[in-house]
Amino acid sequence: MSEQDLIAGCLRENRECQAVVFQRYAGKMLSVCMRYARHRMEAEDMLQDAFIRVFDHIGQFQYHGSFEGWIRRIVVNTALKKYQQKSFRDEVIGIEEGYDLQLEPSIYADLHEEELLNLIAQLPDGYRVVFNLYAIEGYSHAEIGQMLGIEESTSRTQLLKARRILQDQIVKMQKIAV
Amino acid sequence: MSRRLHPIDEVFRQKLAQHSAETPHHLWERIDRERNARMARRHRLQQRYALAALLVIGLGAGIMSWYAKIEVSPTLGSFPLPEEPVLLAEACPPAATPPPQPIAIAKPESKPQRTLLAVVPLPEAELQPVASLNNQLNEATLLELPTASYSALNAALQMSMLPLLLQEVQSAPLPMPRASGCASFTGGKFKFYFDAMAAPSMALRSLKPTDENYAPYADSRRATELPRYTYGAALQLSAVYNNTWALRSGVHYSEIRERFAYTIENEVRTIITNIYGQNGTIIGTDTTIEANARQVVANNRYRTLNIPIILGYEKNFNRFSLSINGGASINILFEPNGEFLSPKDNRPVTFSNDTRAEAAYPAFREGLGLSFYGSVGVQYYLSPRLQLLVEPHVNAFTRSFTREDFMTDQRYLTAGVFVGLRHQFQL
């Protein structure tokens, strides 16, 4: 069934079409949710809310971009609703200086997807969201500031801190492995 | 997107941007179930709106048609003519006619204050000329005439084509109609009003555990939720019959407010503040750790929108009128928002009946069904069409605001004083 047929079916509230859309995109979108959530159960709740919104608002899809990209934006927005400005004002973990470690590229190459997801999940809420939006989704700091209602400079700081924590964690993992 | 990425960003993007996780089987069932439930709720809400709209339209149409039947199209039978036979244009045979006979209009014996032109019964053969006159002077046969008009009318009649016939009528005695019961083409027995009112109110809450085991939870809710002010507003239309019986409907809005206050002991908070250098760049951060008690405060709101169907009885006293009203309201919208103690862990949690509100505890119903309304109103005429309205009222909700399976049964009775304006209008 083509993507257009699926969308038309979803517009008619056809459950089979909805099920196919879910099966086709749920894996990737669950991975997106896992990057924003603290744990798997929270990610599943996010995915559920996101797909309900997808089916509720599928009439608004204008075929201007890819259907997957449209779904992904809804999933990211759903995830962001969890973390309002509060997450960025009252951050629990702080790093006093924004310094940068230089690690060997081979260290990164050995990391598996599940390990990376675990590392992201351990970040504090605000850092995790900014890192996801900037490093993986590709948003700029200005866009992130607008989306989250925070200063652009706060977004930069959060990103630096997130990178620093991730690098520290990766170094620790390497030491344990050695 | 074309910017140069930090190595660590690059790694995460490459490995995770297109990563796909294994989806548990139960997830689609959950989504499907949730969507079905939401659609059923939406359907119920649409039915409720449709029912309310039908009620209002039906009532309006009923009143309009009744009004039109009784007042706008009066029948000749309702006119205050004497019981004696009356000549009507419709009763006359067309143009089959003997020559006209003279009739005369009698002059009043003394100076009457009022005079009425009337027509006495005549043999059928003599009807035609009178009918012609009746058509020309239809209003004159129905209305009381001042004395001054009498001579002018008489002159006009004498100049008409039937002077002889009129002279004969003049010689007959004039039956006087009963004074009361004149037909009226304006106003009618129905009067229509538009009311706009607002009210400060108070809400009396009854919060009971649905089971003895839940009594401590009910106690903790009573201790943390305190009543605040409540207010309401109403827009309604009234149809008042014969200045006595009233049927009213419209929309009533009310907002019940409460304050939730709860103290969390020994909460640890870490606050990070950026430190900026002279050129505006961030050179470091300050980390402050606070450990103290924190009070959670929230303003809880229960908003309702109802369509009332109210019957009233009115009594007029010069510039004042009193009314007693009673009826039922159909709830078409209920929005609870705020925080309370979670039944799970007795910690603050938001509540709502909106299933889209994430992390909100689903304690409240989506609709409140029927409530009963009663009021006593005092109206003061500011002008013939405008009244000042003061209406103390009570509204009792028959259902608990919380769901049936929730630990507490939460009911409200609101009382307040509507103050507003009532405008009389004509259809």
Q: What angle do CA B300, B302, B303 make, to 5 degrees?
A: 130
Q: What is the mean pLDDT of each run of 10 residues along chain B (427 residues)?
A: 74 87 87 84 80 78 69 48 48 52 54 49 48 44 50 57 53 52 54 94 92 91 91 94 92 94 76 71 73 82 94 92 94 90 86 67 87 95 93 94 91 95 88
A173 touches chain B (CB under 8 A): no
| Separation of alpha carbons B139 and A130, rounded Å | 87
Helix (H, G, I), strand (E, B) or coil at B163: helix
Instruction: State the Cα–Cα distance between residues B192 and B426, nearest whole angstrom.
Output: 6
Q: Name which of B5, B32, B269 is nearest A90 (Cβ-Cβ).
A: B269
Q: Which residues of B touch A156 (CB under 8 A)?
A: 282
- Residue-level pLDDT at B73: 47
Q: What is the CA radius of gyration of chain A?
A: 18
State the complex-level ipTM.
0.82
**Cα–Cα distance measured from residue A101 to residue B7, given in angstroms and rounded to the nearest whole number:** 11
State whether residue B179 sits within 8 Å of chain A by CB.
no
Helix (H) or strand (E) holding B167: helix B163-171
CA B236/CA A19 separation, integer angstroms:
48
- Cα–Cα nearest to A19, from B41, B42, B31, B37: B31
pTM tops 0.90: no
Regarding beta strands B190-209 and B408-425, do their DSSP bridges make them parallel or antiparallel, or are they unpaired?
antiparallel
Q: What is the pLDDT of residue B115?
A: 47
Angstroms from A2 CA to nearest CA on chain B: 21
d(CA B366, CA B404): 12
Interface check for A31 against chain B (CB to CB < 8 A): the answer is yes
What is the torsional sign of CA B215, B221, B226, B228? negative
Is B12 an 8 Å CB contact of chain A? yes
- Residues of A with Cβ-Cβ distance to B360 under 8 angstroms: none
Per DSSP, the three-state class of B171 is helix
At residue B238, the pLDDT reads 93
Contact B34 A117 (CB under 8 A): no
Q: Which residue, B336, B398, B366, B303, is CA-closest to B49?
A: B366
SS3 B120: coil
Query: Strand pairing partners for B274?
Result: B285
Whether B269 contacts chain A with CB within 8 A: yes
Along the 178 residues of chain A, how does pLDDT read in single tens digits?
A: 788 899 999 999 888 999 999 999 999 999 999 999 888 888 998 899 999 999 999 999 988 889 999 999 999 999 888 765 444 444 444 444 444 556 666 677 778 888 888 899 888 888 899 999 999 999 999 999 888 888 888 899 889 999 988 888 888 877 666 5
Of the candidates A160, A166, A165, A161, the residue with the CA atom closest to the CA atom of residue A108: A166
**Pairing label, strands B225-241, B190-209:** antiparallel
Q: What is the DSSP string of B44-97?
A: HHHHHHHHHHHHHHHHHHHHHHHHIIIIIS--GGGS---SS----GGGSPSS--
Query: What tokens appear for A73 in the block?
Result: 């934006």
- Rounded to whole angstroms, how far apart are CA atoms B257 and B259? 7
What does each C-alpha distance from B343 to A42, B220, B357, B408 come to in angstroms? 21, 10, 18, 10
pLDDT of residue B137: 44
Residue B268 neighbours by CB under 8 Å, 6+ apart: B289, B290, B291
